[in-house]
Structure 1
Amino acid sequence: MIKHLVLFKLADQAEGNTKERNALIIKERIEALTSVIPVIRDIHVWLNHPDAPAGNYDIVLDALFDSLDDLHTYAVHPEHLKVVAFIGKVKTERVAIDYER
């Protein structure tokens, strides 16, 4: 099993939305991918608590795949790439790790 964790910092304003609204859009769009990308075993997006330190990342994507091949299938899937394009317009930073569980 491969755990895929990605953290994002978002711009305060982007694409006509607040950071909070964009975080919710990302959460909704990523979690909806489970219905169109069958290799996703589990996927959730968690939002940073509003009272947490300002230096924290804003959202974390927490996903589980059976293999690195399945993670790659997810990464290049056209529906995932649509979400990636939106995130690219609203993020300021990204960090990620993939590890075997």
Structure 2
Amino acid sequence: MIVHIVMFSFKKEKKKENLAKAKAILEALVKRIPSLNSMEVGLDFMQGERSFDLVLTSKFDDKEGLSTYANHPSHLDVVSFIKEVTDGAKVVDYEV
């Protein structure tokens, strides 16, 4: 199994609105991308100095499934939106 984790920092402008939209459109991907086995999207409530605003944890059967997800048109649409409203992201992919 492959686990894909991404942590995002959102821009201050319309932050609350953009976080809600990002969470909704990310969670909708589970129904659109067959290789995506599960996804959990969490919003940070601590808002600490080192905190990220949103974390995404998704699971795939294999590396090919992750690649299919990464290149799927629905995922690419979400990426376009997220790039506009974030300051950056950190990613970890690992095999279990």
TM bucket (normalised to shorter chain) is over 0.9
- 2:75 aligned residue: 80
Q: Which runs of 5+ in 1 are unaligned?
A: none
- Count how many residue pairs are aligned between Structure 1 and Structure 2: 96
Q: Which runs of 5+ in 2 are unaligned?
A: none
User: Which residue of the other structure, out of 65, 74, 85, is the alignment partner of 1:70?
Assistant: 65
User: Which residue of the other structure, out of 27, 30, 33, is the alignment partner of 1:31?
Assistant: 27
Contact preservation (8 Å) 2:30, 2:36: yes
- 2:87 aligned residue: 92
TM superposition shift of 1:21: 1.3
Runs of 4+ in 1 over 2 A off after TM superposition: none
TM superposition shift of 1:55: 3.1
User: For the aligned residues, what is the CA RMSD?
Assistant: 0.9
TM-score after normalising by structure 2: 0.95
User: Which residue of the other structure, out of 56, 60, 70, is the alignment partner of 1:61?
Assistant: 56
Higher strand content, 1 or 2: 1
Contact preservation (8 Å) 1:27, 1:44: no
Asked if 1:9 is matched to 2:14, the reply is no
